[in-house]
Structure 1
Amino acid sequence: MNKAELGSALRALRQASGKEAKTVARRAAMSSSKLSKIENGAVMPSVVDVEQILTAVGVSEDIKAEYMSVARAAATEATAWRLYRRLGYHRKQQQIQAIESRTTLLRLFQPALVPGLLQTPEYVQAVLGRKDLTAEQLARAVGARLARQGILYEPGRQLRFIVTEPVLRWRIVPPLVMAGQLDKLISVSRIPGVDFRVVPLSVRQTDFPSHSFSIKDDRMVTVETVHAELTVTDPRDVALYVEKFERFAKVAVSGDVMRGLVEEIRDDFLREQETD
């Protein structure tokens, strides 16, 4: 089987399982029309698509490994943001939630924004509000992103977040709203299973924060660029991101030291609000 035959092979698996297409599509966080196009060969499935479909169908680990090996034939895939806009950003959030639900160890590095799983509703609104969505599209996207945050409280998961200090100072919301966002970071940092760290500007750096990236276990990395989201699955490339993450982890502050830094910046925002 090669990648061009994946669609028909996935259809055969679904039919053999006795599951209806609409049921598999719903569980795979995609539309029925997209699943149909994949099964008919009109659309080439991404690595994420294949993993979602196989999980929704409910195949053995051996079969999943075989199909995922074919799907990973292209080590890096790019999906343009305009495609997600066409499908709906809320559906993208649902897809991320489905992937995260199967992730035991999540490592996320962010040099620009507060990670989505840690954002307050106001911060989410400000971030997604820059995507020129209708009021209804924005409301659905915001709701879908906030729904993902339930994973923070699920036992048995390791969620590791590293941000650079400028993330705490980046002014995309008013001072009082930003203070509330920083309060949330302090609160979340105390949740069992959550490790939140900050790379201070005062520390001598050993690496460069080129862009954000998210590592799901050791099987997949997603990278956000200006025009597209990249999905990296080659184990050699995934290892590079793990190494980069750990380099930042070594110079980042955590625990009470981190909370003291965040509180200091929060208090600056509160004082600014009082003088306005």
Structure 2
Amino acid sequence: MTLEPENLGRSRSDLAEALRDQRRRSGRTQTWLARRCNMSQTKVSNIESGKLTPQLLDVELILRALGAQGPRAVEIMALVRTANTEWHDHWRSRRRGLDKKQNELARLEAISTEFRFFLLSMVTGLLATPEYVRASIADVPGDQSKTFAKKLERQQVLYDTSKSFTFVLTEQAVRWSLLPPAGMAMQLDRLVSVSRLPNVRIGVIPLGGYMPEKSLNTFTVYDRRLVTVETGTGSLMLYDHRDVTAYLGDFMAYERRAVVGDDCRELLSEWSSLFTRQRE
């Protein structure tokens, strides 16, 4: 299925209309359908009005109860997949102000407890030094002081021991020289420091060695309910449990290839020393 970003929002109302139409064609009431699917009548009503975006399993149950088959059922299943995907483009975020995006991320972090970050090409803001944060937004026009402050403020979530964080970075992400050598040495030292927090696990995948998995994008898994996938022009937010499960599987495969613990800190310190020697 091809996802067209401009159609993602409309698919929710299309899905609601399609499910409502399918129930009426079947001659069933919301009360009957709710009972057959072990849902509340309120939930069925909210799905059909577009107030609630159903999960894949919800729609499978509804279609089975209504006896829906063939091309129409396939079309509805495609709609639910699209309805559980959001697209946030970079241009819109920049027009609104990147500090607004930081507020959204902070709210997401506040309601989540288990985080898994796969970082393909850069260090994420939660792990970044102030200098690295500034460099990461340097290409964005306008005053970025609010965005800079919000990014640093968000780092406090790492010290909430009720939450757990696992970061898997490629060697490329760790060593990409976004800063001069002195600044990069400090950035690697920060990774070592943060890795000692009791609720934070950092792993690095070295470039050498056997790596059969093909990493395509930076992504974050929030608990087991949402994945955000970064692209060159924006980010996808995936709620479909099949997507979340797939990315969880990818993450675990990458994590198995990563160097962690004292071995990781030793590797990071070695790379930090290389940057230090470059400035001498």
The one of 227, 234, 237 aligned to 2:233? 227
The one of 193, 211, 219 aligned to 2:199? 193
1:215 equivalent in alignment to 2:221: yes
User: Structure 1's 68 and 206: CA in aligned 2 closer, same or farther, altered over 3 A?
Assistant: farther
The one of 69, 72, 79 aligned to 2:53? 69
Q: 5+ residue gaps in structure 2?
A: 1-10, 15-41, 57-79
- Deviations along 1:152-207, whole A, 9 cap, x unmatched? 00021110100001112111110000000000000000001101100111231120
CA distance in 2, matches of 1:68, 1:272: 56
Corresponding position of 1:43: none
Instruction: Give the Å deviation of 1:4.
Output: 3.6
Aligned pairs for 1:168-183 (under 5 A) are: 168-183=174-189
Aligned pairs for 1:134-145 (under 5 A) are: 134=142, 136=143, 138-145=144-151
User: Structure 1's 122 and 129: CA in aligned 2 closer, same or farther, altered over 3 A?
Assistant: same
**What amino acid sits opposite 1:92 in the alignment?**
K
1:97 equivalent in alignment to 2:86: no
The one of 113, 124, 139 aligned to 2:133? 124
Does the CA-based 8 Å contact 1:206-1:247 persist in structure 2? Answer: no
Moved over 6 A (4+): none
The count of residues paired between Structure 1 and Structure 2 equals 214
CA distance in 1, matches of 2:269, 2:215: 23
User: Structure 1's 75 and 150: CA in aligned 2 closer, same or farther, altered over 3 A?
Assistant: same
Q: Which has the larger radius of gyration?
A: 2
CA distance in 2, matches of 1:122, 1:252: 26
Aligned pairs for 1:1-276 (under 5 A) are: 3-4=12-13, 68-70=52-54, 73=80, 74-131=83-140, 133-134=141-142, 136=143, 138-274=144-280
Secondary structure at 2:197's aligned position in 1? coil
Instruction: Give the Å deviation of 1:76.
Output: 2.0
Does the CA-based 8 Å contact 2:55-2:240 persist in structure 1? Answer: no
> Structure 1 length as normaliser, TM-score?
0.73
CA distance in 2, matches of 1:120, 1:173: 11
Does the CA-based 8 Å contact 2:12-2:53 persist in structure 1? Answer: no
Q: 5+ residue gaps in structure 1?
A: 6-61
CA distance in 2, matches of 1:250, 1:206: 12
Corresponding position of 1:16: none
Does the CA-based 8 Å contact 1:3-1:70 persist in structure 2? Answer: no
Secondary structure at 1:218's aligned position in 2? coil
Instruction: Give the Å deviation of 1:229.
Output: 1.1
> Structure 2 length as normaliser, TM-score?
0.72
What percent identity do the matched residue pairs reach?
35
CA distance in 1, matches of 2:226, 2:260: 26
User: Structure 1's 237 and 273: CA in aligned 2 closer, same or farther, altered over 3 A?
Assistant: same
Secondary structure at 2:174's aligned position in 1? helix
User: Structure 1's 79 and 112: CA in aligned 2 closer, same or farther, altered over 3 A?
Assistant: same
